Structure 1
Amino acid sequence: MPMSILSRRRFSALVLMATTVMTLPLQAQDVVLRVGDQVGAERARLEAAGLLKDVPYTIEWSVYPAAVNLHEALKAGAIDVGSSADSPAVAAIAGGSKVKIAAAFNNGGRGTSIIVPEDSDVTSLEDLRGKTISPTTRGSVSHYLVLGALKQAGIDPSEVTLAFLAPTDASAAFQAGGIDAWGTWGIYTARTTGILRARILTDGAGINSGYSVYSATKEALADPARRAAIADYVDRMDRAYAWSQANRDAFLDFYSGFTKQDRNVVEPMFEEQTAYERRPVDDALAADLQKVHDTWVEAGVLTGDLDMSQFIDRGPLREATQ
C-alpha cells in the first residue's frame, strides 16, 4: 500500500535524523570529552560567557592546581585534553607523554609573574642575586620565566636558590617569608597581590612566548567523535576570549568573583587575561616549541634531542565540526 502523506513525512524526518547523526558525531549522546582544567578557570569563563548551555556532548571536568598535575593526568590517559603554557607541555612530551598539540592561543607573553613581598628590598631583577625563589613546579611556565629573568639580569642560576614547590606550598612559603620571590600566574598572582599586597617584579612579557596550548591524547585525536568534540570545545574557548575582550565590565565582575578579590585588584590583569588570540598549528608554532625545548636543555631541565614538529597535530581540527 502506498504511504500516506503523514507516513512519508515521518519517514523523511527519520532519514534526515539518521543522516545528521552520521555526519555530526557530536550529536551522539554517548560522546564524552574529558577535559583537564587548571583551577577551574576555563569552565568558569565559559559559564560566564554563556557558552556551556548548548554543548552537544558531555564534558567530564577534572580540576588541577597546576600544569604539571594536568599533564600527569594526560600521560596516564585520565583525561583527553587540557590546556597549559607551552613550556610545561614541552616538558611533558619530553618526559614521554603520548600527546600532540592540537590548538594554540597567544597573549603576547603576559600572564606569568615574579612577585615579591610588599616590603621586600628587591626592586629589580638584578636584586634577585643571592635570593631564594620558588618557580613553582619544575618545568612550569613560571620556571621558564624565572630562568629567562635571571638570564636577562645576568645572574647565573647557581647564584640563587630555586625552591620547587606546588602552588599551595609556594603560597604558604611566600606568606611565611620562607622565599624571597615567587614565580606564579593567574589566580595565584591575583590572590597574593590582593591579600598580601605583593609587588609584581616582572610580568613575563618579552621572556615567555605567551602560548597557551591544548595537548590532547593521540587516542582522543584518533577518535572522530572526540576529535570533533575537541574542535568544538576549542572553538568555544575562542568565543569565550572574544566575549572577555568585548565585555570588559562583565569580565571584570566575573574574574573578581572567581578570584575572590576586589575589582581594583583584578582590573590591571584584564589585558593578560583577555588578549589570547587563536594561532595556527603549523611550522611557526613548531619552531616556537622547539625554542622552548632547546631552552630547557640549555638549562639542564631536559636532556637529549627532540623534534617538536613531530608533536603537533596538523589535521583540520577546526573543520571537524563543520
Structure 2
Amino acid sequence: MAKTTLVRQVPPELAGRRLDQALAELFPDYSRSRLQQWIKQGRVTVDGAELRPRDKLSGGERIELQPVEENREECLAQDIPIHIVYEDAHLLVVDKPVGLVVHPAAGHHDGTLQNALLHHDANLATLPRCGIVHRLDKDTSGLMVAAKSLKAHKSLVAQLQARTVRRRYLALVQGRVTAGGTVDAPIGRHPVDRKRFAVVPKAGKEAVTHYRIAERFPHHTLLRVELETGRTHQIRVHMAHLRHPLVGDPQYGRLRLPPGASDQLIAMLRHFRRQALHAEKLSLVHPESGKTISWKSPLPVDFAALLDALRREYETQPDDDEDLDWEVVCLEE
C-alpha cells in the first residue's frame, strides 16, 4: 500500500507552540497522543528534520506527516433520512435533527449522520470522516457543512482553523441576562467528572463565545450566540460558567421552575429534556467560487413550541431579526 504524506505549513499564529500542540491544530482528525507517538516514531519531519514533541516552532516551517491508518470497523452506509438544504459538487449542508449522533463513537457504532451521508453519496468514503469537518452534539439541532472533495475538505478545515466560518446559534438560557458580551475562558475536561467539560483556566484550550440578547422573559433569556472557537460543549459550558445554563441541559444545568408559572408552562419545561440549542445560521467561503454563502435553519418544533409557551405566558412578542450582515445567500446549482 502506498504511503500517504500530509503536508502543512506552520502559520504565524502557531509560532512559539510545541510541535505536538501545533500538530493537533494542523491535523485535527488525529488525537494529540497519536501525533506524539508518530513524532517519536519518526513519522513527522519539520523542514526535513525530526524533532521532539516538546520542541518549539518559529512559524513558516514545512511539516510532513506520514499517518498510520487505523484498523477500525468500516462505517457502513445506512438509509437514514436527513434534510439536505444545499448541495453541489464540492460541499453539502445538512439541517441535523435532534437525537442524531454525528459520527460513530463508543456507544454509537451506527445510526449516525456519517452513516447517512455514505448512503446519500458513496464517494464520501474517500474523505476523512466522510467529509464531516465539525460537529454538533447529539441533542443540538441545526446546520452542518460537509466536504465532497479533498479540495473542499482542505478549504473548510483551513477556514475553521482561521476562524472565518461564522456559526450562529439560538440558545434559551435560565435566568435574565442583562446584556450581551463575550466569554473568553479556556475549556478542558472536568477535573472530577471526565465525561463533562469545564472552564479550566490553566490547562484548558482557548475558547471564545460571543452572545447577545435576542428576547427577554422574566426568568429566561433567548440569546444569539456566535462561536469564535469550536470546543466540545463550548456554548453549554460557557453559559453554565456565567450561571445561565441552557434550559433542559442534562449535564450542565438543572430544572428551575419560574415562580408563579402556569401549569402549562411548567409542563413544557419539565418535558423539555435536552439542551435548548439550535445552530441557526452558517456562513463560509465556497471552496471553488470564493464567494461567501450563508444558510439559515428554522427552529425545530419542540424549541419553537417552548418559546411560544413563554410568549403566551408573559404576553411578549418575538424581536425582529435585523442582521443585515447575515443575509442568506446560496449559489445557483
Q: TM-score range by the shorter chain?
A: under 0.3
TM-score where L is the length of structure 2: 0.25
Which structure has the highest strand share of the two? 2
